[in-house]
Amino acid sequence: MLNYIWLALLSIGIASAVIYDLSDYRENKYMNRIELPAYFVRSGESEGKGELIIPKDTYSKFYRAEIEKDIKNKIDYKPAKGKNNYNIKITIDEDDPELWKEIAAANGDKIDITGKLVFNNVKVSDTAEVYIRLEEVSFLKLKNVTNAAIDYASTAVNISLGLIGIMAMWLGLMKIAEEAGLIRKIAILIKPLTKFLFPEVPPDHPAIGSIIMNISANMLGLGNAATPFGLKAMEELDALNDKKGTATNAMCMFLAINTAGLTLIPATAIAVRAAAGSNEPAIIIGTSFFGALCATIAGITTAKVFEYVSKGNADLKSFIKPLFFFLLLIGMTVILFLNGLSPEAIKNTVTIISTAAIPLLILTFVGYGVFKKVKIYEVFVEGAKEGFKIAVKIIPYLVAMLVAIGIFRAGGALDLFVKILSPVTDLIGFPAEALPMALMRPLSGSGSLGIMSEIITVHGPDSFIGILVSTIMGSTETTFYVLALYFGSVNIKRARHAVIAGIAADIAGILGALFIVKLLFG
């Protein structure tokens, strides 16, 4: 499955880039080799510096794109070959049209645009009518694809190297807890839950402790702690794997829960909303939890269905009934608890727990190790060595997946999918403005964060669309990143139904977010 997904991301991304570039070339979108009328104003007595003014009507007619106000840019100029001909460098700022920003970025410079300035048969004066011909731009999307492939490959390595210290620390602490028998005790306490979710894993196996620590850290928003626990869990699950390179049912279930992204406090989304001036940045706590709960139910259910089908068990009643009551019980318990608290009270409660969680874990693990007379330093170092090896091992897998995602995004495939899916999403009342967020979220955390920030800036953090994209951010996870990270750590090449369960969780989370936001704020 991962082979096909990787090939699809690469081929669709490159194909989209070619289609867009050919269309731009045919329509001459960037008006190459055509002169644009403008006004030049010299900066005082300074030679070689001035200001370029382009009326908004002139720009709109020339580029066939509306802008709200006149363009005014600082320029540097110097004589070039030809009468009244000058080389210019235009400094781009935030107020400039997106088209000019694309031109500036085409050659790797996001600050300046170069070109020619021609005076209309007059000498350089304080004010004059002029023509400008900007640098030629072609195959912009393919250039973006090239840059994205290089940038994302570097990003993947940086992510992996950044994990080394965190992995070493947490797996060192886990090793102490494991040697002291604490993980085994935790596993026994939650045996009914783990037996249902992971029937193939012995209740006292070290994998269970790592899984619980991972899920708990994710729910508290402790991403730095959750990832090492998750990678350790995958390593332990692989120790039970009879078919190396092929995901087991337990691995698929674990990935389904992780890609559902059940978190009590969507801290990142709240922070972006607060920075954007929201009156109630924490109002999405309830909506995000509802969406994430929908995603969790869908992910677990999908994984369980495939698990039983793979065993050739046609009697689905044996697991649908307990699954339904189990998830209903969890959902009702948490919702009743949350219903009794205000969003601010929930935020403050979970924030306190999250802040104290890591110091308490360190103190508990080390303290219990001392109590059980474990050689804590030596055991910690052994565990830290394992963390280092795992962090380095995942580099090729992250590079492969993130490069494919980068090419898919830079090639314009996301815009293409928005156009294709818009008629379908319109039928269920899903705003077209929020569709890029829904499509990007399973692929890239930074990409979806950027899209969310942009949408909130345009529509406002407390608008319906602003609350919807914030809820989607808190209701789902970066499915393909998680798959590449966790499966890469144990060399899994055949993902089986993990991808389908993850996508089912994403769809359910997005639809759940739409439902609850429409119900409360629509």
**pLDDT of 15-68, one tens digit each?**
999 999 999 989 898 898 899 999 888 876 667 888 889 999 999 999 988 888
Q: pLDDT at residue 266 above 60? A: yes
Q: How many CB atoms lie within 10 A of CB 310?
A: 12
The top-scoring range by mean pLDDT among 201-205, 303-307, 327-331, 459-463 is 459-463
- One DSSP character per residue, 209-221 reads HHHHHHHHHHHTT
| CB contact at 8 A, 230 and 212 | no
Binned at pLDDT 50, 70 and 90, residue 92 comes out as confident
Task: Classify 496 as helix, strand or coil.
Answer: coil
Helix spans in 247-342 (H): 249-260, 267-275, 284-310, 317-339
Within 10 A of 435 (CB to CB), how many other CB atoms are there?
Answer: 21
Q: How far apart are the first and last CA of the chain?
A: 38
Tokens standing for residue 371: 């109590």
Here the tokens at position 464 are 């319906």
Q: Which helix (H) or strand (E) holds 42?
A: strand 36-42
Instruction: Give residue 321's pLDDT band: very low, low, confident or very high (50, 70, 90).
Output: low
What is the helix (H) or strand (E) element at residue 54, kind and residue range?
Answer: strand 49-54
Amino acid at 4: Y
pLDDT at residue 466 in the model: 93
pLDDT at residue 123 is higher than 60: no
The first and second tokens of residue 71, run together, are: 């363009």
Whole-number Å distance between alpha carbons of 220 and 205: 24
User: Computed over its alpha carbons, how large is the radius of gyration of the chain?
Assistant: 28
Q: Is pLDDT of 313 > 60?
A: no
Per-residue pLDDT band for 327 (boundaries 50, 70, 90) equals low
pLDDT over 60 at 473, yes or no: yes
Q: What is the share, in percent, of the chain residues with pLDDT greater than 90?
A: 23
Q: Could you tell me the residue ranges of all domains in the chain? A: 31-137, 147-521
Closest among 91, 62, 63 to 76, alpha carbons compared: 91
**Does residue 255 register a pLDDT over 90?**
yes
494 forms bridges with which residues in the sheet? 246
> How confident is the model at residue 19, as a pLDDT?
92
pLDDT of residue 81: 74
Burial of 81 (0-12, 13-18, 19+ CB in 10 A): exposed
Average pLDDT estimate for 270-277 = 86
CB under 8 Å to 226, separation ≥6 — which residues? Answer: 214, 217, 218
Residue type, 350: V
pLDDT of 428: 87
Banded model confidence at residue 234, pLDDT cuts 50, 70, 90: very high
Per-residue pLDDT band for 407 (boundaries 50, 70, 90) equals very high
pLDDT over threshold 60, residue 314 = no
pLDDT of residue 335 exceeding 70, the answer is: no
Per-residue pLDDT, 366? 92
- 135-149, 187-201, 484-498, range with the lowest pLDDT: 187-201
Angle between helices 249-260 and 498-521 (to 10 degrees): 20
The token pair that represents 393 in the structure block: 């091992």
**CA distance linking residue 494 with residue 491, whole number of Å:** 9
∠ CA 226-230-236, nearest 5°, is 150
Per residue in 156-214, pLDDT tens? 888 788 878 887 888 888 889 888 888 777 777 777 778 888 988 988 888 888 898 88
- Tokens in use for 169? 């620390």
